[in-house]
Amino acid sequence: MKIQVEKLSPVEKKVTVEIEPAEVAKEIDRAYASLGRRVKLRGFRPGKAPRTVLERNFKEQVEADVVEKLVQKSFEEATREQALEAVAAPRVEVGEGGVGADRPFSYTARVEVKPVIVPRDYRGIPVTRKPVEITDATVDAEVERLRQSFGEMVPLEGRDVAEAGDWAVIDYQGSVEGKPFDGGTAEGALIQVKDGNFFAGEMAVLQGRKVGEAFETEQHFPADFRDTALAGKAGKFAITLKSLRTQKIPAVDDAFAKEVGIEGVETLAALRDRVRTDLEKREKRRVEAEERDALVKGALEKNDFEVPPALVERTIDAMVESTAQRLARQGVDIRQLDLDLARIRADMREQALLTVKAALLLEAIALAEKIEVGEQDEQEEIQRRAAELGVPPSRIQPKGDAREGLRQRIREDKVVALLAAAANYQ
Question: For 379-404, what is each residue's pLDDT tens digit?
Answer: 999 999 998 888 898 888 988 889 99
> What pLDDT score was predicted for residue 313?
96
Q: Are residues 51 and 190 in the same domain?
A: no
Q: Is residue 371 part of a domain?
A: yes
pLDDT at 109: 96
Q: Is the pLDDT assigned to residue 136 strictly greater than 90?
A: yes
Residue 293 pLDDT level (bands cut at 50, 70, 90): very high
- Domain membership of residue 120 (yes or no) is no
Whichever domain contains 367, its CATH number is 1.10.3120.10
Within a domain: residue 194?
yes
pLDDT reading at 376 higher than 90: yes
237 pLDDT above the threshold of 90: yes
Q: What is the mean pLDDT of residues 292-321?
A: 95
Residues 88, 199, single domain; the answer is no
Same domain, 421 and 307: yes
Whether residue 269 sits in one domain with residue 242:
no
As a three-state string, the secondary structure of the chain is: CEEEEEEEECCEEEEEEEECHHHHHHHHHHHHHHHHHHCCCCCCCCCCCCHHHHHHHHHHHHHHHHHHHHHHHHHHHHHHHHCCCECCCCEEEECCCCCCCCCCEEEEEEEEECCCCCCCCCCCCEECCCCCCCCHHHHHHHHHHHHHHCCEEEECCCCCECCCCCEEEEEEEEEECCEEEEEEEEEEEEEECCCCCHHHCECHHHCCCECCCEEEEEEECCCCCCCCCCCCCEEEEEEEEEEEEEEECCCCCHHHHHHHCCCCCCCHHHHHHHHHHHHHHHHHHHHHHHHHHHHHHHHHHHCCCCCCHHHHHHHHHHHHHHHHHHHHHCCCCHHHCCCCHHHHHHHHHHHHHHHHHHHHHHHHHHHHCCCCCCHHHHHHHHHHHHHHHCCCHHHHCCCCHHHHHHHHHHHHHHHHHHHHHCCEEC
- Residues 238, 279, single domain; the answer is no
Please indicate, yes or no, if residue 208 is contained in any of the structural domains.
Answer: yes
pLDDT of 253 higher than 90: yes
pLDDT at 305: 96
Residues 339 and 413 in one domain: yes
Average pLDDT over residues 162-183: 92
Q: Give the CATH number for residue 208.
A: 3.10.50.40
Looking at 248, 274, 293, which one is the last position of a domain? 248
- Where is the domain boundary, 248, 275, 298? 248
Same domain, 303 and 194: no
Q: Are residues 417 and 269 in the same domain?
A: yes
pLDDT of residue 294: 95
Query: For the segment 63-107, what is each residue's pLDDT rounded down to a tens digit?
Result: 999 999 999 999 999 999 999 999 999 999 999 888 988 899 999
The domain of 371 spans 263-425
253 found inside a domain: no
Last residue of a domain, one of 193, 224, 248: 248
What is the average pLDDT value for the chain, to the nearest integer?
92
